Amino acid sequence: MERRSTDAPMTLSGRIETTSVWSSDSANHRSDPKQRHDSVGKPTKQMASQAELSGRRAHADNRLKVTESLADLALQQTSQWFINNQNADGHWRGPLEGDTILESEYLLICGWAGRLDQETMIGCTKRILAEQLPEGGWAIYPGGDADPSASVKAYLALKMSGCDADSEPMKRARIAIAKAGGPWAVNSFTRFYLALLGQISYSDCPAVPPEMILLPDWFPVSLHRVSAWSRTMIVPLSLIWSFKPVRTLPRDRGIQELFADCSYEMGNRPVGGNDAWSRFFRIIDSAIKLVDCLGFRPLRRRAVMACRQWMLERFQGSDGLGAIFPPIVWSIVALRAMGCPDNSAEVSECWKQLEGLLERPDDETIRVEPCRSPVWDTAIAVRGLAEIVSPSDTISSSMSTAVDWLLAQEVRFAGDWSRRVQAVPSGWCFEYANRYYPDVDDTAMVLIAISSWMKQQNIVRKDHAGRRLSRVKKATRRGIDWLTAMQNSDGGWGAFDRNNNHELLCKVPFADHNAMIDPSSPDLAGRVLEAFGSLGHRVGEPVVDRAIEYLRATQESDGSWFGRWGVNYIYGTWQAIEGLRAVGISRDDPLVERGIKWLQSKQQPNGAWGESPASYVDPSLKGVGEPTASQTAWAVAALVAAGEGNSSSARRGVQWLLTTQRPDGDWNETAFTGTGFPKVFYLRYHYYRISFPLIAIA
């Protein structure tokens, strides 16, 4: 790696004073008060000689050279890691890990469909048992408490796979489930699994009538008023609720022992909240069930056919319905319930997509992914590699191939988003194929990556580079126009739809997955602003100014911002600062200053940052958690963006990254720093711990 020479020593971020920047005293701006007093009182004796000063400077220079060498080595190792792991067509894709609900649900659907085989059972149960907490339950993220839904599904999956109820892990599990509230404390999705396997009645599940698909968009509870991911789950679930398929398990494979000790009050616990609207919707839920029980279903056949057609349309050009695990599972059950045989083209395609989500981290374990993340992973990798000064020809070629792959992934189809937005179809999705659902976050990240690549390569219009540049300019123009059209009325952005913020929908009994709508979030607003800024858009443009005002309105009183798609306030604060600075907001603006002060206040003594998903439940835990490479990199990136790259906080953060990197260029990180649904589902992006430190160090 080449570095420009300067007259003064350089840190990773710029010029510094010739002091020992990595010592604990200088890093924390501390010195001995007595020594200061002695220096003032006895200037002649305490003044260092010129030779001593020269020696100190030489020592500082040597330490800085060591630090620069470490940084260069880190960049070399990490960039080589990416070169080694790039796919032949130019893209990257890292493992995407969730909690054990995925393995549990996979076993449950295979058991329901009669497709359980020995290898699958052994592989999934091994991971489920490996993740069991010492107390007996299962958490939804490392370090979390036992979650009733995850624990009940794990227990049922293990029982169904033949685990002895009297074995030590199962005894511990029963105790933990009872402490967590028992089987009736589970969420709506879990109730549907229990009903599917004959453990409870469908009357214990929220009503999801298929007639909902016939309601007009202006109706308060219509299908297209809910979030895109909820939409893809509601439609197949409505068919399941209509047909109520059941495969009753043998008694020794069921979980009746979990219900045996439940009190009447636990069994009649209401689903949802206890406010007026929640109670109102529970009355509606009961009324729908009563009418259905009486057989009054004048629109049922029409609704069922509309749901089936809606699903089949969205199978096209997609890695399964919504390209995510839950809708694919429910699609299988819905189609089978409607009479489609298991070997039909539609059902076979669903099974193919579902089995494509199986990962085998070792010869014996099966881990199920919630979806694939190639576009996201590739865009972040390109963005990181583009930060390297004077990249090698190998890195340049690698990035160009990746950019070509990203350009080919642009979604030029008017999906569900087009019901509320008039724009030329564009955008990028998260997965390999999901043409109905390009999203704002991936689109913004791809635009940032491509812009970073263009600036680094100093692209000129000639030969193949010129043709590529022409494609890039057209794609980025369409992407910016699409993002502009997708801006919400409040100035922010949701992930998949415009103005998908009807909060009344969060009160229906089915809404306990905590993601019924897709409103604006500060982290998305920050990323979109960064994309706009990377392509030359600045303060004064209406779309930019509205987003800035949104971030002003959503900054927390302590200076932080909420993170919807990453854990949590560290993520949101980083992205907000990046976006604000990219469009020209001054580093002295109170928005930026307060955000930086909050980040600095959360830095740990070792120089790192960390935050647990527990902060979604308890805001007093903002910025508190085990240190991680990804979250430390986010904080450092925010400091650099705010012009604080030469601060003690930034240097200490980078030093922690340098000293914790593994020889192969990777970092150790087991924490879940990605967010699916706050309070419900979290993720471990295996590339986060590599991509983001690359950006921060470079």
Catalytic residues: 441
Do the beta carbons of residue 346 and residue 369 sit within 8 Å? Answer: no
d(CA 431, CA 443): 12
**In this structure, are residues 481 and 426 in contact, taking their beta carbons and an 8 Å threshold?**
yes
Cα separation, 205 vs 674, whole angstroms: 29
Reading the block at residue 555, the tokens are 């900054």
Residue bearing tokens 């036992």: 146
Structure-derived torsion over alpha carbons of residues 78, 79, 84, 89, reported in degrees to the nearest 10: 130
E strand or H helix that includes residue 658: helix 648-660
- Complete DSSP assignment for 531-591: HHHHTT--TTSHHHHHHHHHHHHH--TTS----SSBSSHHHHHHHHHHHHHHTT--TTSHH
Contacts of 176 (CB under 8 A, 6+ apart): 133, 135, 136, 137, 146, 151
Rounded to whole angstroms, the Cα distance separating 579 from 86 reads: 29
Q: CA Rg, the chain, in Å? A: 27
Q: CA torsion sign, 650 to 651 to 656 to 658?
A: positive
Taking the CA atoms of 176, 181, 182 and 186 in sequence, report the sign of the dihedral they define: negative
Residue 144 is classified by DSSP as P
Judge residue 504's burial from the number of C-beta atoms within 10 Å of its C-beta, 0-12 exposed, 13-18 middle, 19 or more buried: middle
Query: Measured between alpha carbons, how far is 135 from 117 in angstroms, rounded to an integer?
Result: 30
In angstroms, the CA 164 to CA 638 distance is 51
How deeply is 358 buried, as exposed, middle or buried, from its count of CB atoms within 10 A (0-12, 13-18, 19+)?
middle
Q: Which of 109, 131, 107 is nearest to 119 (CA)?
A: 107
Alpha carbon distance 539, 562 (integer Å): 23
Q: Tell me how far CA of residue 686 lies from CA of 95, 130, 505, 666, in angstroms.
A: 6, 19, 34, 10
Closest C-alpha among 478, 386, 357, 487 to residue 428: 478
From the list 154, 165, 160, the residue with the least C-alpha distance to 111 is 160
Supply the DSSP symbol for 487. Answer: -
**What are the C-alpha distances in Å from 374 to residues 87, 95, 366, 599, 665?**
10, 10, 20, 30, 20
Burial 319-331 (b: 16+ CB within 10 A, else e): bbbbbbbbbbbbb
Position of tokens 């976050």?
441
